[in-house]
Chain A
Amino acid sequence: MANVEESPLVEVKGLSVAFAGKSALNAIDLTLRRDEVLGVVGETGAGKSVLARALIRLLPGNAGITSGEICITGRSVADMSDEELRRLRGGEVALIGTDAKSLLDPVRSVGDQVADVLQAHRRIGRKQAKAAAIEVFEKVGIVDAEKRAAAYPHQLSGGMAQRIVIAMAMIAGPKVVLADDATLGLDATIQVQVLDLLVSRCRELGLGAIIITHDLGIVARYCDRVAIMRDGRIEEEAATSAFLAGPATSYGSQLLAAAKARPVPMAKADCPKAPVESAPSRPIIEVLDLKKYFSTPSGHVVRAVDDVSFRIPRGETLALVGESGSGKTTVGQCLVRLLPSDAGSVLFGGADILGLPDSAFRPMRKYIQMVFQEPYVALNPRWKVEDLIAEPLALDGSVTTGEARRKRVLEMLDLVRLPARLASVFPHQLTAGEQKRVGIARALATRPDFVVFDEPTTALDIRVRAQIIDLVRDLQRQMQLATLFITHDLNSVRSLAHNVAVMRYGKIVETGETEKIFASPQHEYTKMLLGAELPIEHFAG
């Protein structure tokens, strides 16, 4: 017995992987013991997912292991036959991927799919397999498991689908669980539930788990050890507490610093103009009882935005916080009139803009701009950066000549700290962070008074996210913008919002100054949201 205990579950020695000659992993050494949760952290392109797939020899066709050795429970994966590999995958090592819904077969019930996995690894009858599936469903916290087993993937929420995928990973009793960004895209409250469950099941059964993520908050809360990856190498590996106390490498400290919230430097007193204007300044934008209803094909009416009111003065940021489906993005789209509103008014500089005909509203777009969520898809792929940034300038009467336009574009690139040479490239040639900056430059090109930022920090790597937060904060102070900041990322709210409004089911349930809300939330839902946050400060001490 002692022998078995001593041999690590996963042992990787000097592993290198290359894609068609291009190195993806470089001399990776890694060990995972029983009863251990290892976090693998890195930014996009660091090779995290390649590592997970190499462990079960599931690399894409053009990738190959060039050197090194992988041993799972003491046996080399390289020496395994196809049949042994089949038993390894799902049987000994289970992989949980991102986006559970796309991992499930849409035309089979989830109970059947999970039962299939068990039957692939054990000689067991169909009935017993289905019974076992339902049992596992209960263990992963699925209420009414028997009924759920008959459901199809599209009938499940994202969180539920992720649980099914976890059940699928657990059912054959694996020794190692690989979770590759398993909770990416889930709401924070759901993410915490899913990860709590996953890790507690692993601990109960004494499994080894590798959690691949870009979120150091997850590592801080769940992992015993952490490996920091960069460019296909492991930069450093340490016990989580040791890493949080003081990373050994400069890259590690950069990541850690970037993941921490910026202290709020924007209390109103900081605002240079505020003391001068002692009289209550008129808000730039004022939303009164805004309503937007959608009706589903079945005739059901969804109150996406239900009596929402708020006001934003010059130079201030209101963060609209809520989970997916809360209606926060719809509010933003109603404000810039991408969606018609059903009732209420939006006063811009005191005048209602909802009642205006399109032709009268169009010139006002100069003052009201929006930065879109997904950096890449919000840029026309066939336009050069220069043309993209210049497009809104058609609204600006002061920029008429080609020369003036060019000058403003360069000015804007400089403002968002992009080099001027990027003016002549296409969006797909930019990194995600650069695309985001172009989106911001474009929205600010006409020097607007009010800007809606829709989820500006999602889908970005840790360091890039921190840079974008810093940028937005600087710009806002420089330009004295009134900003509506739509997000579910509480960390960024802390860093750049003066006030917070918490939305749920189309209504604002709580609103107030950022610090107050974070310090003493009143509403149950706000408390739940804050409870689901994984700020590393709590762990870093």
Chain B
Amino acid sequence: MSRIADFTAFILRRPAALVGLILLLLQVLAIVFAPVLATHSPTTADPIASLQPPSSEHWFGTDVSGMDIYSRIIFATRINLLISVTAVAVAFVVGVPIGLLVGYYRNWLSSLTMRVFDFIQSFPVFVLGMALVSVMGQEIWNVAIVLAVLFIPVFARLIRAEVLSLRDRPFISAARCSGATDGTIMFRHILPNALTPSIVQVSISIGMAILLTAGLSFIGAGVRMPVPEWGLMVSVGSQQMILGVWWVSLFPGLAIVLSVLSFALLADAVRDYFDPRRERG
């Protein structure tokens, strides 16, 4: 059985993971079929239809400039997932080898690297995000780069912690006695055993990245109107919230919740799946 089919079968047996998978599939559908699913253009303002409550014409209502919220939520899935997935992929690809090297070779260079990570992580996320985005400009890709920089230390630390606990394990000593070189020990013995928490972290991080993208947009340091993005939509709606206009913020907010939830639920399933002691069936 192929890996994907095996994983799907595994998920089908766990209700929580199944919910996560269904939510993820809905997002994929929204990304692929956005033009078909949307009822209006996501970026066309219609001042006459400003702040309409949900109706048969505008399912989730309209915002202050009269843009259809349902259509914007659908199109925003593309932006939000693109930013998050790219950021986390970059962070994973860069962070994992760094963590591996830093954990395996304990010298001045690895200490220095860890201090740099301390430096990055000791900044409040939003201050750092605002600083970087304001230097580089409020573009989608810049938001992704900012998030990648934020997540590199997360993956590097996670791998490093695993490496530190693995490197003195008897099977590593046994491999060394079998003539394994540093490279073999690092990549063939340690890495496969150290990877599981990071793979789980990928899923969690995508969820976090969605939240951060939304948060950055909310405080005005992310993408700019009229780009459809969930956090920006919540932000736009928050100004009318006290006037009883609840729909502008609520629906994109729900989209964020469901999207983050889908990755969190899948993260648990992924962790269980990669446990080597799990009975394959």
Contacts and interface: CB of A to CB of B under 8 A. Distances in A.
B192 interface: yes
Interface in B166-202: 169-171, 173-181, 189, 192-193
Interface residues of B, number: 17
B173 A380 contact: no
Interface residues of A, number: 27
Contacts of A370: 174, 177
B276 A428 contact: yes
Contacts of A428: 276-277
Contact of B193 (A378, A382, A395, A443): A382
Contacts of A426: 276
Given A380-B189, A380-B193, A372 B174 contact: yes
Nearest to B274: A382
Given A380-B193, A428-B277, A372 B173 contact: yes
Contacts of B177: 336, 338, 365, 369-370, 392, 443
B178 A391 contact: yes
Given A338-B176, A381-B276, A428-B277, A373 B170 contact: yes
A426 B177 CA distance: 20
Contacts of A377: 169-171
Given A426-B276, A428-B276, A428-B277, A372 B179 contact: no
A437 interface: no
Contacts of B173: 333, 338, 372, 378
Contacts of B189: 380
Contact of B179 (A333, A365, A381, A382): A365
Q: Is the interface of B mostly helix, strand, loop or mixed?
A: helix
Given A426-B276, A428-B277, A378 B174 contact: yes
A366 interface: yes
For A338, A379, A382, A443, the residue with the greatest tally of chain B CB atoms inside 10 Å of its CB is A382
Contacts of A439: 174
B179 A380 contact: no
A378 B171 contact: yes
A442 B178 contact: yes
Contacts of A366: 179
A426 B171 CA distance: 14
Contact of A362 (B179, B192, B193): B179
Contacts of B175: 380, 391
Interface in B224-281: 276-277
Interface of A: 333, 336, 338, 362-363, 365-366, 369-370, 372-374, 377-382, 391-392, 394-395, 426, 428, 439, 442-443
25 contacts: A338-B173, A362-B181, A363-B179, A365-B178, A369-B177, A369-B178, A372-B170, A372-B171, A372-B173, A373-B170, A378-B171, A378-B173, A379-B171, A380-B171, A380-B175, A380-B193, A382-B193, A391-B175, A391-B178, A391-B180, A392-B178, A395-B179, A428-B277, A442-B178, A443-B177
The 6 residue pairs across chains A and B that have the minimum distance between CB atoms: A392-B178, A395-B179, A378-B170, A365-B179, A391-B178, A378-B174
